[in-house]
């Protein structure tokens, strides 16, 4: 069962939402106001989903948890009490906050939360793909630098330098990029 | 775009255009054509800055200058430094430039960002670093943002709890000592992960030998809730904008251990932000927004006007705090709550003869270096390229020139921060990698 935490400054107002979540088979583990200790509560209770008011000042608190610790970030579903379409659109387009629920009928709650989680996962994957791509780029840069070093110091041409790097890496059973960065680091120490 | 603009002008003229357009790499096509026409007609002397006043007015009167949108909603968070937005609207500086500014109070920075991006807000009082965070998609979707001008320098601060005071903490060194001796969790709050207060707090902690990532628990608390959270012992310290540091002293729940100007004199703080899309579609409105807010900033910085500004912003619809809590530090009258009172020459500045308002590229780049330093960016971004894209120096220069506000020649400035390290916009990657404490 999915564990849900509801954050709203007006607890009475979101009572119907809480009830329909329970009716739809969610476990509501917390229903809190714009709570002082929201941060630690979130870490403690480890909800699967956080549902919060789009106008809550605590949104930044949740954003911080998401940015600083992507790994235990939670999908955030937002709702607006006035069911304002513009607000819904805004939060769908930006931010970690995955999806927004207006005043939606109970039977649509589950698909909306599912969609929010799917969207959040997609965002998380995108992020890790991006950081993988950046790592690849960094690796290429360091290999280029190592190649340049060898070319200068051993008077090699580009192809020779590359195959020298590659065979050294194979002999030592390390990744080409790791070897390259060791080489660059070593060269730095020698120069200093 | 530059190439397109320079295709049908002579060699010497194209040089002049280069000089004009190189200031503004994100120049939109309409302004570009305008400049091209002028450069074509008058050659090098036609650079907008040196154009005779009469000619310039004629050119603008020709119909290219009317705001595309005449009513703009500008979002703000209840903080002392939202003053330029409030003053521009309340005192009618907006009408002088053919627009109506509707200040819109917002509850969170996340909401400000969302509404800028979906167009519900046309502009906002924003944390400098947050604009760069959105540009790079840190914690959200990537979106091209625009900084029209800087709204303020200085006037933020770090507050520590009375509990730490009782342990003998009075500065960074003694905090470090207490933290070394007494092993427990230390919690510090700021206002937004990529924003300014996170960066001031981290910088100050690190300069005092405390690793803000490993040694402390870092949380975000909305500014108006900082004091209440400290009172119930939820945290040991926080970094926030005024009046929420002064308020902690007023309410006797904490003391000021540092001001943000102690960290970096005349540091960039809030900006007038919007999206790149908005500027591309509405360059004239964007320029009118800069002019109205710039004139408001000039008004606020005049000492004799500050009391009136305090009256205006303290009201419930804006900052919603007592006048004497806002008013003291607003004119440089500081006390730290543990016995020191002083007149701070580097209090919150809004204009400073245009030095505050100019969107220096090096200011924007600095936030990127810190995002990199603290691991929010995994690799070095194109620091200069991104700053040139976001900071609307061309548009700002047009607006400032029309108001007779001086514009710095160099889009970089040099500052020495509290640890003695100089930031001048050169070698940003080396700067970011050069700190002893980093991720």
Q: What is the pLDDT of residues A44-93, one digit of tens each?
A: 888 888 888 878 888 888 888 777 665 456 677 777 766 566 655 555 55
Task: Identify the structural domains of chain B with CATH numbers, from first to last.
Answer: 2-64 (no CATH), 71-153+267-330+344-406 (3.40.190.10)
Binary contact (B108, A59; C-beta < 8 A): yes
Q: Is the Cβ of B214 closer than 8 Å to some Cβ of chain A? A: no
Q: Is B221 on the interface with A (CB under 8 A)?
A: yes
Q: What is the mean pLDDT of residues A118-137?
A: 74
The partner residue sitting opposite B108, judged by closest CB among A39, A56, A89, is A56
Cβ–Cβ below 8 Å for A94 and B117: yes
CATH number of A131-191: 1.10.10.10
- Arch. (CATH architecture) of A3-104: 3-Layer(aba) Sandwich (3.40)
Report the C-alpha gap between B267 and B204 in whole angstroms.
13
Residues of chain B scoring pLDDT < 70: 1-63
Please say if the pLDDT value at position A98 is more than 60: no
Secondary structure (3-state) at A78: strand
CA distances from B300 to B53, B266, B398 (A): 26, 17, 22
Question: Chain B residue with minimal CA distance to A139?
Answer: B379
| Contact list, B225 vs chain A (CB under 8 Å) | 34, 36, 57
Which pLDDT value is given to residue A131?
A: 72
B226-283 pLDDT tens trace? 999 999 998 999 999 999 999 999 999 999 999 999 999 999 999 999 999 999 999 9
Question: Cβ contact (<8 Å) for A67 and B376?
Answer: yes
> Which residue of chain A is at minimal alpha-carbon distance from B77?
A57
Contact residues, chain B, for A36 at CB < 8 Å: 225, 228-229, 232, 234
Contact flag B115-A90 (C-beta cutoff 8 Å): yes
Q: Which residue of B has its CA nearest to A137?
A: B379
What pLDDT was estimated at residue B54? 42
Question: Residue B1: what pLDDT?
Answer: 37
Distance of alpha carbon B47 from alpha carbon B394, whole angstroms: 12
Output the pLDDT for position B63. Answer: 52
Contact B139 A63 (CB under 8 A): yes
pLDDT (tens digit per residue) in B137-194: 887 778 999 999 999 999 999 999 999 999 999 999 999 999 999 999 999 999 999 9
Please tell me whether the peptide bond between B8 and the residue prior to it is cis, using omega within 30 degrees of 0.
no
CA distance B87 to B239: 26
Q: What pLDDT sits at residue B96?
A: 96
d(C-alpha B391, C-alpha B388), whole Å: 6
Q: How far apart are CA B268 and CA B196, in angstroms?
A: 9
Q: Is B222 on the interface with A (CB under 8 A)?
A: yes
State residue A42's pLDDT score. Answer: 82
Interface of B with A in 327-386 (CB under 8 A): 376, 378-379
Q: Does B299 touch chain A (CB under 8 A)?
A: no
Domain ranges of chain A: 3-104, 131-191
Q: Which residues of chain B neighbour A97 with C-beta distances below 8 Å? A: 110, 114
Determine which of B130, B139, B195, B374 to mutate to test the interface with A (most A C-beta atoms within 10 Å). B139
pLDDT of amino acid A82: 64
């Amino acid at each position: 069962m999915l564990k849900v935490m509801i954050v709203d400054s007006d607890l009475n107002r979101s009572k119907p939402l809480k009830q329909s979540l329970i009716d739809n088979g969610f476990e509501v583990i917390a229903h809190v106001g714009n709570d002082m200790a929201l941060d630690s509560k979130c870490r403690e209770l480890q909800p699967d989903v956080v549902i919060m008011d789009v106008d809550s000042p605590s949104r930044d608190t949740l954003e911080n948890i998401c940015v600083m610790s992507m790994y235990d970030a939670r999908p955030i579903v937002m709702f607006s009490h006035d069911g304002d379409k513009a607000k819904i659109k805004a939060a769908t387009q930006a931010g970690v906050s995955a999806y927004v629920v207006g005043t939606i009928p109970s039977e649509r709650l589950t698909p909306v939360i599912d969609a929010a989680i799917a969207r959040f996962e997609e965002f998380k994957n995108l992020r890790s793909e991006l950081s993988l791509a950046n790592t690849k780029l960094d690796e290429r840069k360091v290999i280029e630098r190592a190649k340049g070093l060898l070319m200068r110091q051993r008077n090699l041409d580009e192809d020779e330098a590359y195959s020298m790097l590659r065979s050294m890496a194979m002999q030592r059973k390390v990744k080409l990029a790791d070897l390259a960065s060791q080489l660059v680091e070593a060269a730095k120490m020698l120069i200093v | 775009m530059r190439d397109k603009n320079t295709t049908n002008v002579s060699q010497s003229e194209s040089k002049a255009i280069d000089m004009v357009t190189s200031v503004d790499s994100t120049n939109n096509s309409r302004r570009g054509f305008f400049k091209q026409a002028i450069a074509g007609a008058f050659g090098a002397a036609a650079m907008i800055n040196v154009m005779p006043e009469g000619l310039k007015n004629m050119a603008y009167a020709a119909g290219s200058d009317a705001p595309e949108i005449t009513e703009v909603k500008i979002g703000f968070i209840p903080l002392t430094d939202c003053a330029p937005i409030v003053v521009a609207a309340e005192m009618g500086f907006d009408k002088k430039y053919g627009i109506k500014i509707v200040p819109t109070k917002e509850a969170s920075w996340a909401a400000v960002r969302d509404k800028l991006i979906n167009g519900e807000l046309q502009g906002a009082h924003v944390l400098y670093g947050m604009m760069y965070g959105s540009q790079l998609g840190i914690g959200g979707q990537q979106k091209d943002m625009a900084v029209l001008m800087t709204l303020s320098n200085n006037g933020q601060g770090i507050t520590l709890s009375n509990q730490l005071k009782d342990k003998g903490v009075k500065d960074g060194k003694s905090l470090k000592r207490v933290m070394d001796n007494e092993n427990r969790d230390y919690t510090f709050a700021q206002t937004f992960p990529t924003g300014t207060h996170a960066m001031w707090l981290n910088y100050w902690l690190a300069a005092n030998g405390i690793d803000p990532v490993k040694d402390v628990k870092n949380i975000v608390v909305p500014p108006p809730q900082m004091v209440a959270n400290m009172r119930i012992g939820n945290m040991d310290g926080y970094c926030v904008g005024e009046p929420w540091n002064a308020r902690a002293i007023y309410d006797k729940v904490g003391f000021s251990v540092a001001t943000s100007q102690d960290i970096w004199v005349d540091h960039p703080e809030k900006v007038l932000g919007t999206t790149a899309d908005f500027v591309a579609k509405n360059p004239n409105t964007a320029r009118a927004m800069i002019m109205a807010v710039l004139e408001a900033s000039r008004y606020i910085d005049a000492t004799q006007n500050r009391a009136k500004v305090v009256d205006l912003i303290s009201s419930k619809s804006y900052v919603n705090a007592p006048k004497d809590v806002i008013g003291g530090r607003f004119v440089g009258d500081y006390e730290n709550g543990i016995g020191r009172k002083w007149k701070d020459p580097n209090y919150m500045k809004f204009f400073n003869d245009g030095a505050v308002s100019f969107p220096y590229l090096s200011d924007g780049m600095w936030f990127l270096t810190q995002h990199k330093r603290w691991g929010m960016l995994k690799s070095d971004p194109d620091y200069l390229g991104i700053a040139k894209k976001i900071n609307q120096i061309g548009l700002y220069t047009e607006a400032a020139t029309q108001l007779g506000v001086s514009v710095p020649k160099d889009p970089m400035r040099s500052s020495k921060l509290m640890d003695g390290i100089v930031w001048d916009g050169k070698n940003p990657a080396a700067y970011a990698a050069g700190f002893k404490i980093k991720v």
